[in-house]
Structure formats: structure tokens, C-alpha cells
Chains A and B, each alone.
Chain A
Amino acid sequence: MVIQEGMSIQRKLEILSDAAKFDVACTSSGVDRKGNGSGIGNSLACGICHTFSADGRCISLLKILFTNECIFDCKYCINRSSNDVVRASFTPREVCELTMEFYRRNYIEGLFLSSGIMVSPNHTMELIFDALRMLRDEYHFNGYIHCKAIPGTDPVLVEAIGWYTDRMSVNLELPTASSLKRLAPHKSRKNILKPMRQIQLRRESNNEYLGIYDGRRHVSNQITMTNDKSSEITNDNRNSDRDLLLRVNNTTNIVPYNKAPIGKSRYVPAGQSTQMIIGATDESDYHIMSVSETLYDNFDLKRVFYSAFVNVNDDSNLPSTVSGPPLLREHRLYQADWLLRFYGFKIAELLNEKNPNFNVLLDPKCDWALRHLDEFPVEVNKADYYTLLRVPGIGVNSARRITTARKSAILDFKDLKAMGIVLKRAVYFITCNGRMMYPIKLDEDFITRELLAVKDRLPFGIEKDITYKQLSLFDDVSFQPDDRLMLQEISHA
């Protein structure tokens, strides 16, 4: 391992930001917190993008590794112990100084601290804990903090750190336990799910204690279909997890640096996220999305991120990405993820064993609609919100505008146009006052051809190229500013 002594902060930042770039979640969303009048910082639930890097992705947090001196040897990672790369580590104080000074200048919304594993998971997480505690208690930093939990960390540390962060994440890395074993031999599915469950239960009890209803996704009380694809994850036992939590709570009192949950403190208020690498292993889209669905439904995750695999180590045992990472596939997964979280879709409606991958040419919603022409056309003046959302081309923004506007008028196609609703796709699937815009018969081949002619709104440069950005939740199209809900989200169509 190459470790340089007396490295400048500039050089450290260069190494440790470069090493952190594949972590996707750069959002600062999910928590509203006013300034406290004395320290520094506040937080907006909608999130704020501060800039966009050359790859077009939003930057909102100072995203760095605490150290890249890693004892693990994950095949897909540039920092794996078997690689000969320059190693560097921050001190807790350096992390604080950078965060504070960047924040004052309005470069960032806060800190996203991840890390390689130096000495042991516990050793690393203790240093991270020192940094966060210093940042909150000594520097009075009240901005956003996202912290990675390293699998295998003592639950006591996970408990302690959660009080200092807004979001925590444990990366699932790969969709199946067997892939994980193959590519990340030092990690195990169990070690990943354990802290995830711990944080989930802790949040639940904290919210209960504070009487907060933490608006989960709109999911109704439907029973989640547990399909065999996700059983690997659901099989664990919540009761034994609760025991663990109890044990943790009893032991934390003897941890000297524990900050007891006083007053109105909130535990990981912005919830958890996770990330999967796409295309390093051969799981299908169906498999991947089933795992995501389970994570949303059973682990109350706020976000699952997908990261198109880049073979940074030119490892011949892994797929080559010389012709570019699988960005279109990643894009389709994000679109489907969006359908799960905001549109009320279940993954079983979109994919199945026989048809396990998304259509390359059509976005998942169009694809679904074409296979369900019997449910169309729907009447714009009557259809409920979720039915409207199922119409290709009508997104959350448009559906809300329609349900608002029809309170005061009976809507016609020209009204929809005036309201800025894009009809290019929707026109095949809706009626206004019982009439379609053009007399079209609902013939699958015809509509498919027409839909294919409408250019798929792939983000620029994906021909295949895509990325994430802050996007108004209300908008089905691309970015349009909206002050009410500028969710930091990925682009979708």
C-alpha cells in the first residue's frame, strides 16, 4: 500500500473525492430544518443542487471517502486492497474544516461521508463518528449529513452515529448474495441487512416516540407480493432484530461518547438509501427491481440507487465496459423505480420470469400501457389521480394539474395544451368529454409505431447516456422549476 506522509489537504481531497465518485446518492433531500439562530446551517426537504459536474450529475454534498486505505478486496472497486493506488486519509478535523468552509461559501448542502475500511469496520466508524460529533457539537453545523454505515460495524456505533446524521446508507452492492460473495468476498448479505434493519427499527421507534408520521410512499394497504426473487431478503426475522435493538439500547448507556436521544432529537430523519451496481453480474432487471421493491416495502428505504458498472480495474473476470457503461439499462431501472415509488405500480405488473428485462426502445410505462390497451382510453375529466398517472406522457405534475383544473372547468384538449400538458404520447390513451383527439382505434401495432416515432425522452447524450439531476416531482417532462417540490431526483420520462 502506498501511503504518503505529510500529504497536503489539496492532494488528499483530490484522491478521496475521486475515490468517492461512484457513490451515487448526492441528494440532500428529505428533511426540513430551519436554522437554529446560532450555529450554521439549515436543510430543505426538497433538496438543492449546487452545481453539476462534467458528467452532468448534480452535486449537492461534499462527497468524500474518509480514507481509501482499505483492507477489503471488492473486485469492482478501485480502492481494493490488492490495487497499487495512492492511499490517503483525512483527520476528523480536516473533514470538519472542509465541510464548514465549503458550506459558508454555499458550495454544498452538507457532507456525504463514505469510507474504505481502515484496520477494521469499527475502527473506521469510530473515526467517522469523531468527525461527525465534532462537526455537530463543536462547529455547530446544522446542515445535511449523509453517512455510510460499513457492514460489520458494531450496532452500538450504528446507534450512536444515527443521531448525528440526516441519512444513512448501507450499500447492497449486488442484487444477490451469491454475486456479493463472488465479487466482494469480505462482505456478506447478512452484514449488510443487519444495520439496515437496525436503522429502520430505530427510526420507527424514534418516530413513534415523537409522534411523527413519516409519510411512507403512497402504497395502499395492499399485501406485498413476496415473490421468490426477494425471499432472500425478506426471510429474516424482525423479532430477533427487535431483540438486537433492545440490547443496543441497553448497552449504549455505557458508551462514553453516546449522545442520548434527548428532547426532540431525530434518528436518521431523512431515512436510508442504498445502491446496487448494475451490469457487473448477470441478474435480470426483474430480479433487480424485485429486490428494490422489497427494500422499499420491507425496509422502508427512501431511495434505491443504481450505478452502471464501470470496470475501473480492467478486471478480466468482470464484464468489459470499454464501449461505455450500461447507461440505458440504468436509465430504465430508474424509470421503473419511479413507477414503484410515485405511480403506484408493482414490479409484477411490469416484468415477470418470462419477460425479465425492460424494453430498450420504450420506457416501462409505455411498454406496460401497450400491453394493457383494454384499460384505455381513460376520460380525463373523470379518471382518478392514479389512473391518470398510468397514462403514457402524464406524470405527477400533469396529473395534479388536471385534477386541480377540472374542479372549475370541463377540460378539453386545448385546455390540456394550454396547461402545458404534453399530448404527444397521451393522445392515444385519453378522451376529453368522451372524445379522442383524433379518431384512433386502439390497435397495438399502430400505437407502438406512433409511440416509437415520438422520441423517447432519453437524457442528453444517452444514446445512450443518462444521469441524475434534481427534477421537479411535478414534472413528467424534463426539468422545469417548481418551487413547491424540487425533489432531487433522477431524470425520468
Chain B
Amino acid sequence: MNNLKIFLCDNSIDGIFTAIYQAWSSGYGHSNIKIEEQCEKNSYSNIELFSEYIIVETNFDQAVKVSNSIKTKISLEAYEMTCRVALSDYQGKGDLIYRFLILGFHIGKNIVSHLSNEVVNRVFKLNRYVSGEAHHLLGFIRFSEQENKILTSIIHPKNNVLSLVTPHFADRLPNERFVIFDGNRNVCSLHLPEKSWIIIEIPSMNLNDYDILIDDEYESLWKTFFDNIAIKERINPKLQRNNLPIRFRKDMTEFIPERINSLI
């Protein structure tokens, strides 16, 4: 018990993979190891006494080694599942991935069918959760056109889904310049014509400043359409709420009251 070694790593795929690499090669034995990703919720607040903390510096070479072994020794599917778990907001995902991989390296590609196993089941559920939110956002993301024709969007997802949704838009809008901000994480993805998209951290920008620049006539046309397409005899706010949770609406044009038009 009091011999627990806690590998404390960055809250990122590479961070978690690095920790797994180091934990694995440490020789402490799986049952004496815990992987803990750093996030606001757990930083220093619940340090466990009698445990030894090992701070893991993210190391890309080591991370790549782990991803390669997952791909070759388990399967591509398992690799993708692992990545989605790493993007989730689930506290303890680092350790979950570690447990999943221990099983995976043992069982091989069939690991994904072991749904009655608790670890696999949790991984499976988190996958649905993360993919589900990403899929929602493929539809719910709204771009506003800025004066310079740049399309901008702000989202507040629970999970870190930018890297899951951006490829869809890069494929769909190859000639557009667009930016998607993740207002919860202060990162954004950026796409320019004929370039591959990138993700950038933007530590100190007040995203809300962007609202006031918008003066886009299509926003009111869209609202007109949205209001008129509903069948009055069937109005059903509960069903609407069930299908489109309130939390998405603050970033969706049709639910935002008329914007304050530009200051210019």
C-alpha cells in the first residue's frame, strides 16, 4: 500500500503515454503503480500520503514508442480508443489507459470485445462519450464570418475534442480560413487554404471580444429559417432539450439573442 509510486504526467496523450512508458520500464510492478494526469481538479489537492510521486517530463520519443506498440501489438482500433480516452475529461484516465494496455498487451486485438471486463467497459463507454460529443459538435459548431472573410467559431466542449472535429471541417471547407476556439481550454485550431490545420495554444486572449465584431446578415436569415421551420401544432421544448442540450446553445447562432452589432 504505502509503496505506491504515482507517475504524475501532463494532461495530454503524449504526457500519458510517456508516463506509461516510464512506469512500464520502472520494474515496480503494475500493482504498485498509478498514473495520474495533472489537471485542475487533482493538482496538489489530494496528494496521497505514503506515496512516492514521480514527476514525468513529456518525452515525445517515449510516447511514440508506446503508440507504436499499441498499434502493432494490439490494434489500430485499440490505439484510437486509447486516444479518445486521453482526450476525455474523465479523472483517472491515465491510470485507466494503463490498465487497459496491460490487458491489451496480454490479450491482443480481441481486447475490444471483452465488454464484460470493467476496464474495457469503461474505456468503451468513454469512447462513446467523447465521440458522441465530437459528433454533436460537427453539427452544432457555428461559424461567424468576420469582415476579412475569416470564419470563426467558439465552443465549450466537456472533452478536448478539437483534434477530432477539425479534420471534418478542413475536408469540408478546403478554401476557407477558419478558426475554432475551445473556450474551456484556451486552445484553437486554425485552417488556411492549401495548408494542413494546426492547433495552437492561446494563453491570454479574451475570446468574448470576438462577439462584438460580428455583423453578418446571414445570421438573421438563419434565425428566420429556424423560427419558421417549426410546426406550431407540435411545439415540444422537452424533446428539443433532450436532443439539443442547453449547454451547447450559448455558442449557437439561432439561440443567441440579436448580437450587439459592431462598434465600428
Q: Interface of A with B (CB < 8 Å)?
A: 9-10, 13-14, 17-18, 20-22, 34-35, 37-42, 44, 48-60, 62-64, 98, 101-102, 104-107, 109, 143, 308, 310, 321, 324-325, 327, 401, 404-405, 407-409, 411, 415, 418-420, 459-461, 465-467, 469-470, 478-484, 486
Contact status A50-B139, CB under 8 Å: yes
Contact status A460-B239, CB under 8 Å: yes
B116 within 8 A of A: yes
B173 within 8 A of A: yes
Whether A107 touches B222, Cβ cut-off 8 Å, given contacts A51-B140, A481-B129, A482-B132, is yes
Most chain A CB within 10 A, of B129, B145, B234, is at: B234
> Which chain A residue shows the least CB distance to B114?
A408
Give me 29 A-to-B residue pairs in the complex whose CB atoms sit less than 8 angstroms apart, sorted by A's number: A13-B224, A13-B225, A20-B229, A40-B173, A42-B171, A50-B140, A51-B244, A52-B240, A53-B230, A53-B240, A54-B227, A55-B232, A56-B238, A56-B242, A102-B222, A105-B145, A105-B151, A105-B218, A105-B219, A420-B125, A467-B234, A469-B239, A469-B243, A479-B242, A480-B128, A482-B132, A483-B127, A483-B128, A483-B132
> Which chain B residue shows the least CB distance to A402?
B115
Once the chains are docked, how many angstroms separate the CA of A174 from the CA of B113?
46
Q: Interface of B with A (CB < 8 Å)?
A: 110, 113-116, 118, 121, 125, 127-129, 131-136, 138-145, 151, 153, 168-169, 171-176, 216, 218-222, 224-240, 242-244, 252-254
Report chain A residues within 8 Å CB of B143: 104-106
Once the chains are docked, how many angstroms separate the CA of A18 from the CA of B225?
8
Contact status B174-A37, CB under 8 Å: yes
> Which chain B residue shows the least CB distance to A311?
B233
Q: Chain B binding site: helix, strand, loop or mixed by DSSP?
A: helix
**B100 CB to nearest chain A CB (Å):** 15
Report chain A residues within 8 Å CB of B169: 106
Contact status A480-B235, CB under 8 Å: no
Once the chains are docked, how many angstroms separate the CA of A293 from the CA of B67?
49
> Which chain A residue shows the least CB distance to B194?
A37
Given contacts A40-B176, A105-B218, 4 further A-B contacts (CB under 8 A): A52-B243, A53-B226, A55-B234, A105-B219
Report chain A residues within 8 Å CB of B240: 52-56
Once the chains are docked, how many angstroms separate the CA of A269 from the CA of B127?
31
Once the chains are docked, how many angstroms separate the CA of A62 from the CA of B224?
12
Contact status B229-A405, CB under 8 Å: no
Contact status A327-B234, CB under 8 Å: yes
Report chain A residues within 8 Å CB of B252: 51
